[in-house]
Amino acid sequence: MKNVFMIGLGLIGSSIALGIKRAHQEVVITGYDQKEVQDIAQKRGIIDQSALSLSDAREADVIILAIPIEATLEVLKELADLELKENVLITDTGSTKSEIVSLGQQLFAEKKVRFVGGHPMAGSHKSGVLAADVNLFENAYYVLSEDCPELRTLLSGLHAKFIVLDAAEHDQVTGQVSHFPHILASALVLQSDAYAQKHPLVKNLAAGGFRDLTRIAEADSLMWTSVVLSNPQEVVERIENFKAQLDDIAQKISSKNQTGIKSFFDDGKKIRQAMEIHKGAIPNFYDLFVSVPDEKGVVLQVLALLQQFSITNIKINEENREDIHGQLQITFKTAQELEKAREIIKIATDFEVA
Out of 105, 106, 153, 191, the residue judged to bind a second copy by CB under 8 A:
191
Instruction: Name which of 116, 173, 126, 119 is nearest 142 in CA terms.
Output: 119
What is the spatial distance between Cα 281 and Cα 320, in angstroms, rounded to a whole number?
28
- Residues across the chain: 354
Instruction: Name which of 326, 273, 282, 302 is nearest 141 in CA terms.
Output: 282
- Nearest distance from residue 111's CB to a second copy, in Å? 30
What is the spatial distance between Cα 352 and Cα 325, in angstroms, rounded to a whole number?
14
| Burial (Cβ within 10 Å: 0-12, 13-18, ≥19) of residue 200 | exposed
What is the spatial distance between Cα 221 and Cα 217, in angstroms, rounded to a whole number?
9
Using the rule CB under 8 A, give the single segment among 23-31, 36-44, 105-113, 305-313 that binds a second copy: 305-313
Out of 74, 78, 81, 218, the residue judged to bind a second copy by CB under 8 A:
218
- Nearest distance from residue 143's CB to a second copy, in Å? 8
- Nearest distance from residue 330's CB to a second copy, in Å? 10
- Residues from 19 through 78 that contact a second copy (CB under 8 A): none
CB nearer to a second copy: pick between 52 and 130 = 130
Instruction: Name which of 45, 56, 42 is nearest 5 in CA terms.
Output: 56
Using the rule CB under 8 A, give the single segment among 20-28, 34-42, 109-117, 168-176 that binds a second copy: 168-176
Out of 52, 130, 222, 335, the residue judged to bind a second copy by CB under 8 A:
222
Out of 4, 7, 9, 11, the residue judged to bind a second copy by CB under 8 A:
11
What is the spatial distance between Cα 235 and Cα 100, in angstroms, rounded to a whole number?
17
Residue 166 is a binding residue for a second copy (CB under 8 A): no
- Residues from 306 through 345 that contact a second copy (CB under 8 A): 307-308, 311-327, 331
Residue 212 is a binding residue for a second copy (CB under 8 A): yes
CB nearer to a second copy: pick between 83 and 294 = 294
Using the rule CB under 8 A, give the single segment among 38-46, 74-82, 226-234, 339-347 that binds a second copy: 226-234
Strands across the sheet with 28-32, in order? 49-50, 28-32, 3-7, 62-65, 88-92, 113-116
Number of residues lying near a second copy (CB under 8 A) = 129
- Nearest distance from residue 304's CB to a second copy, in Å? 6
- Residues from 81 through 100 that contact a second copy (CB under 8 A): 95
Binding mask 256-285 for a second copy (x = CB under 8 A): x-x--xx-xxxxxx-xxx-xx--x-xx-xx
- Nearest distance from residue 222's CB to a second copy, in Å? 7
- Residues from 106 through 165 that contact a second copy (CB under 8 A): 121-127, 133, 135, 141, 163, 165
Beta strands in the chain (DSSP E): 3-7, 28-32, 49-50, 62-65, 88-92, 113-116, 118-120, 141-144, 161-164, 286-291, 311-317, 327-332, 352-353
Per DSSP, 94 falls in state: -
